[in-house]
Structures are given as C-alpha cells and as structure tokens.
Amino acid sequence: MNTATPAIATATTAKKNQYWEARKASIYLYVAKAICQKYGAQPTSVIDIGSNGTPTLEWHRKWATRLVSLDLRNPYSAPGVESMTKNFFDYYPAERFDLVTCFQVLEHVRDPKLFAQKLLDIGKVVVVSVPYKWRAGACKYHIHDPVDEEKMGVWFGKTPSYSYIARELNNVDRLIQVYRHTDA
C-alpha cells in the first residue's frame, strides 16, 4: 500500500485552497461577479476557462443548468459541474455558452489573440480579467505584461461592450472587460 498518496492529495488540496483563500476577497472578483450578473444575466450555460480550482461558477448555480470548468491542471470540481482537465485549444463545444468567464489567464498564454478569438467563438457573452498595466517581470508567470485596453483590443479584435479597472486595497489594478459575440 502506498502511504504517500494521501499526503500528496492533502498537499495538493491545501495548495488549491490556499490559492482561492488568498484571492476570494479580491475587489476584482466582487466586481467581476456584479458584471457577470449584469451582462450575462441568468445564464443557463456557463464555462469558466482557466479556473485553477476557483469556485466562481457557483455565482451562476441558481440559473445555470450547465456549469463547466476547464483548466490545464486544476479545474473546479463540485456536484453538477463538468470538470475538464484539458487544453482550451483542444475543446470544441457543440453549442455556444450563454456566458464564458476567463479570469487572470490571458497574460499567461503564448498566443493570447488566438485564445481571445476562441473565447469569443464559444460564448455569447465573455467576461475576462487581466492584470492591468503590471510592470513586465513583476510576476514571473506572466508573459504579456503590461496589459492594457489597447493590447486587449488587438487580442479580441474589437471594442469591449464594457470595461472596468478594479483597484485592490494594495493598489494592484485589474482590467475587467465584457465582449458580446454579436458586437461589430
């Protein structure tokens, strides 16, 4: 019997919980939830791309009959949630989702323009957030800092329906934008 497995599972769970615990009171998440409720009101299908185990899908449980979490390593898992560990570029849904959320992901991906276009392809309303004008090198995992409205416009190829800069109490900013599939 392998006694290391429970320890690894416990450590992994603790790391997942630590990630969410450090972020759950963020102002940008509070604002993102309000923006989702306004622009993606009462969606019946929601997908969160790059969730890293965060339970933001729970914001939509009251209305959604389909909740999907997709992440390379750590999709959110809960009763009634389709948890998928896979590359977003290898995912092809049969129908568009009413709402697509993607929080703090685009700054990490190699081809953010292709990623943004795929977000638009799979959803009627897309709500995204990115670190706003973070200095290059401020986070070793970010490959596109600084990100601003102009860069997002290039990636999405259109003007957002709504844009908001959320400032945390520690003066860290995040840009939250809404894109609609039907936008010109």
Does the residue 58 lie in any domain? Answer: yes
Q: Quick one: pLDDT at residue 17?
A: 67
Does the residue 12 lie in any domain? Answer: no
Does the residue 14 lie in any domain? Answer: no
Does the residue 52 lie in any domain? Answer: yes
Does the residue 7 lie in any domain? Answer: no
Q: Is 137 left (phi over 0), alpha (psi -120 to 50) or beta?
A: left
Does the residue 10 lie in any domain? Answer: no
- CA atoms of 174 and 26, how far apart (whole Å): 10
Does the residue 9 lie in any domain? Answer: no
Q: Quick one: pLDDT at residue 182?
A: 67
Residue 134: give its domain's CATH number: 3.40.50.150
Tokens of 110: 């190699």
Q: Quick one: pLDDT at residue 27?
A: 87
Q: Quick one: pLDDT at residue 9?
A: 41
Run means of pLDDT, 10 residues per run, the chain, 184 residues: 42 58 83 94 96 94 96 95 96 96 90 95 96 76 82 94 91 91 58
How many domains, the chain?
1
Range of 68's domain? 25-180
Does the residue 113 lie in any domain? Answer: yes
